[in-house]
Amino acid sequence: MTDGLTVLGSCGAWPEPHRACSGFLVERDGFRVVLDLGYGTLPRLLDALGPQGVDALDGVVVTHHHPDHAVDLHGLFRAWTYPRRSWERLAVWAPPQVRDAVIALEDGDAAAVDAAFDFTPLPAGPTAAGPFVLESVALPHFVPSVGVRLSSPGLVVAYTGDTGPSPALAELGRDADLFVVEATDREQRPTTPPARKPGLQLTSTEAGRAARSAAARRLLLTHFWPGNDRERSRANAQAEYGGEVLLADEGLRIDLP
Ligand SMILES: [Zn+2]
Task: Kindly report the CATH number assigned to the domain that includes residue 116.
Answer: 3.60.15.10
Beta carbons within 8 Å of 21's beta carbon, 6+ residues apart: 9, 11, 12, 13, 14, 15, 36, 38, 39, 40, 41, 67, 68, 69
Residue 21 forms part of a structural domain:
yes
Residue 257 forms part of a structural domain:
no
Give CA–CA dist 9/71, Å, rounded: 13
The total of structural domains in the chain comes to 1
Give CA–CA dist 20/25, Å, rounded: 14
CA of 69 from ligand 1 middle (Å) equals: 6
Asked whether the CA dihedral 232, 236, 239, 243 is positive or negative, the reply is: negative
Residue 36 forms part of a structural domain:
yes
CA of 116 from ligand 1 middle (Å) equals: 25
DSSP state of 104: H
* Residue 78 belongs to domain spanning: 4-252
Residue 144 forms part of a structural domain:
yes
Residue 223 forms part of a structural domain:
yes
pLDDT in tens, the chain (257 residues): 579 999 999 999 999 999 999 999 999 999 999 999 999 999 999 999 999 999 999 999 999 999 999 999 999 999 999 999 999 999 999 999 999 999 999 999 999 999 999 999 999 999 999 999 999 999 999 999 999 999 999 999 999 999 999 999 999 999 999 999 999 999 998 899 989 999 999 999 999 999 999 999 999 999 999 999 999 999 999 999 999 999 999 999 999 99
CA of 12 from ligand 1 middle (Å) equals: 5
CA of 68 from ligand 1 middle (Å) equals: 5
Q: Say how far residue 182 (Cα) sits from the centre of its chain.
A: 9
Give CA–CA dist 60/77, Å, rounded: 11
CA of 153 from ligand 1 middle (Å) equals: 30
Tell me if 55 sits within 8 A of 23, measured CB to CB: no
∠ CA 146-104-10, nearest 5°, is: 45
CA of 223 from ligand 1 middle (Å) equals: 7
Residue 50 forms part of a structural domain:
yes
CA of 65 from ligand 1 middle (Å) equals: 9
